[in-house]
Structure 1
Amino acid sequence: MKKVIGLGMVILTVLASPIHAAAPTPGSADDPVVTKSYLEQYVQGLGGSVGTGGGSNGLTESKIKEIIAQEIAKLPTNNGGGGTPSTGQGNAMKVVALKAGQTILADAGSELIVRNGKTLAVSNDDNGIPDVTAGKDLAAGTVVQNNHLLIFPRDGRGVKPDLKETADVYVMVRGGYVVQNADGSKVPQ
């Protein structure tokens, strides 16, 4: 029995040797893992070095920083003061007064809070408006509670003062919106 086990061990050793011999040595060109030293050797072989601009593209680190600075300068800035467009787009909430018969229609992604007065939800479809404060959807014609945050997932939804409301209704809006009169004409901003 001992001879059989010994013979089995010898056979396994002989069979396993080619598997180990076929494995690449770490750090060699045959190693599938790319190391930093391999990349540096490869870049040196191309005749350049990383980040110094010695390569064929001519981009130096300072040139890359200059290009990035130019692109950043092109981006619009929102410093929080005076730069908010009249459409209400931007980070700041804008206070809008609604007169009797007017409707405010919010753009997709806009937020609105009714500050005073009695208002009704307006929607051009059956999905309604999410009232995130109450955790429910407001169908068209539903009373909107004051100081509740409404988020508009699509265009064509908004709020309007109740027909019995005679005083101005104030709402706060973040995002795009349009105020319309009862006849459908737009109120200039």
Structure 2
Amino acid sequence: MKKSVIISTVILLVMVFGLSIAMAATDQPGSESDPVVTKSYVDSKTSYSPISLTAGQKLIGGEGTEIILRSGEATAIDNGANGVSDLTAGIDLMTGSQVGTNHLLLVPRSDGRGILAGTDIWVMIRGTYTIK
């Protein structure tokens, strides 16, 4: 009886050890499950870029674009139904609503939402955008 318990325990330990080795082997750096990325890719996903707009220009954001107004005056541009998300204030900004300086704005979809420069402005932006 003791012999079969010992053999069963050894077999179980070998199986657990073998399974853990197989699992570790699948997450090798550079593999499909753990790809290697470049510094420029990481920077593009984590860094804000400063841009300036002159009075009257529109900045239209793509899906997931983040905008921070650093100086000047700007108003929001909505899509006709929903506004630009002001994450700092916790509100939706509809067309004509004043954008607060240093507020983090989020454009949820690529549907024409963004900001209109009332004066010359500087913004920090992360994501895709067009200037009109």
Provide TM-score, normalisation by structure 1: 0.53
Q: Distance in 2 between matches of 1:134 and 1:92?
A: 22
Q: CA deviation at 1:101?
A: 2.8
Q: How does 1:131-170 map to 2 (within 5 A)?
A: 131-155=86-110, 156-162=112-118, 165=119, 168-170=120-122
Q: Which runs of 5+ in 2 are unaligned?
A: none
Greater C-alpha Rg: 1
Q: How does 1:168-183 map to 2 (within 5 A)?
A: 168-180=120-132
Does residue 75 (structure 1) correspond to residue 36 (structure 2)? The answer is yes
> How many residues are treated as equivalent by the alignment?
123
Q: Secondary structure of the residue that 1:133 maps to in structure 2?
A: coil
Compared with structure 1, are the counterparts of its residues 68 and 103 closer, same or farther at alpha carbon in structure 2 (3 Å cutoff)? same
Q: Which runs of 5+ in 1 are unaligned?
A: 1-26, 29-34, 44-48, 54-58, 181-189
Compared with structure 1, are the counterparts of its residues 160 and 84 closer, same or farther at alpha carbon in structure 2 (3 Å cutoff)? farther
Q: CA deviation at 1:100?
A: 2.7
Query: 1:123–1:129: 8 Å Cα contact kept in structure 2?
Result: yes
Q: How does 1:1-189 map to 2 (within 5 A)?
A: 37=10, 39-40=12-13, 50=18, 64=25, 68-71=28-31, 74-78=35-39, 83=40, 89-155=44-110, 156-162=112-118, 165=119, 168-180=120-132
Provide TM-score, normalisation by structure 2: 0.72
Q: CA deviation at 1:74?
A: 4.6
Structure 1 residue identity aligned to 2:59? I
Structure 2 residue identity aligned to 1:50? G
Q: Secondary structure of the residue that 2:85 maps to in structure 1?
A: strand
Q: Distance in 2 between matches of 1:113 and 1:170?
A: 9
Larger RCO of the pair (alpha carbons < 8 Å, separation 6+): 2
Query: 1:126–1:140: 8 Å Cα contact kept in structure 2?
Result: no
Q: Distance in 2 between matches of 1:36 and 1:103?
A: 70
